[in-house]
Structures are given as structure tokens and as C-alpha cells.
Amino acid sequence: MESIGESNITIGIVAKGGIVIATEKKETKNPFGENFNSEKTFIIDNHIICAASGAIPDSQILIEHARIQAQQYKKIYQDYIPVKKIVEIICDIKQQFTHKGGQRPFGVSFLVAGWDSSNGLQLFRTDSSGTFSGWKAAAIGSNSIINQSILTDEYKNDLDLNQALSVLVKILYKKTNSLEFWKIIDIVLLVLDDKQQILIRKMNREEVNSLVS
């Protein structure tokens, strides 16, 4: 299994009016030994997204559980589940498998991004053991220590979405020498509009390439 430290780069940045999540498209092998690119950013609910670095099959198990819990919360309380609550649910499962003898821990780290009415825009980083922490800008996966250092230097509290995208490019564009930036990077935006409504969308090929043109 590919270790988290060698897996796809994943970066999240909280900006004014939204959160930007970028994941590296890194080929893995399916059970038949064929190379393929799997999705690494998932929608948990209308207000929460999650990006993974590490074992993507492990992430899919955890994401599906989180989705079910989010829907159950909504059914009971008639409201969206708080972002931190969904992080705690994911990490509780990770901790159970870490502490159980004979059970393999989940080999995946997450960046969980979302918005709720109590705490606004939020970004959390979780590791494979089930610990988590809140961040304004965070990196996981390959070169995470170096990338986190760059984020620390570049991040400002008043960054807008365009400036946040520029920081991402500064870190990630070194991965390619061509203008086909979209071939190596997926970027997902979680945007809060003037009516406090959340829009989640993936940037298209032209939008991603325009960041480096």
C-alpha cells in the first residue's frame, strides 16, 4: 500500500468567501495492475467536502460512513451537521482501528473543508491515527512538510479566492513543465455566496489551465 507520505499532494486554503482544495492526479494501479487516476475529492454533504491522500479505497469506506451520519443528523435535527462533528465521526473510526489488535489502521489522511452557521468556513486536517486539527491552510501527502512551510509563508488572513489559487499554483506548478496543468491537478471550490448558500464545484480544464497561462 502506498504510504501517505508518498501519496498525492493535497492542499487546502481558507479564503474570503470560500475554500480552495487542490489534489494531485497521481496514477495508481487497480487490482489488474492497470494504471488509473481515481477521484480524491469527495462531497460528504451540501456544505462539506473531503480530500484524501493515501489509500483511496480506505478513504471511500470512511467517506461513505460520514455521508450516512450526515444524512441521519439532518433527519433528526432538520439541520446540516456541523463540520467539526463530521471530522470527529471520521476520526473516531480511525482511532478504533488504530487501537484494536489485529486490525490494520486506515492508511489515509484527509483535509475536510466546510461551512456551518456556528463557525463559518473551516478546514481540518486528519491523520491516519485519528487525530485532527484546524487550519487556515494545510498540506498533506507527498512533500507535505515543505508545502506546509510555503503555505505558512504565503498565507494571509485577507486572501481572496483568486489569491488562494495563486498560492496553490506557486506550490503545484513545479510538478509540470507544460501548460496542461489540468492533467496533474484537480481543484474544487467551496464558495459561500451573499445569501449564505454554499456552492461546491470542480474547476474545468480551461479554468485550471488559465491559472498558469
Interval 115-145: pLDDT, tens:
999 999 999 999 988 899 999 999 999 999 9
pTM of the full predicted structure?
Answer: 0.90
d(CA 124, CA 135): 6
41 phi-psi bin (left φ>0, alpha ψ -120 to 50, beta other): beta
Residue appearing with cell numbers 481543484: 187
Which residue positions in the chain have pLDDT lower than 70?
Answer: 1-6, 26-38, 97-104, 175-179
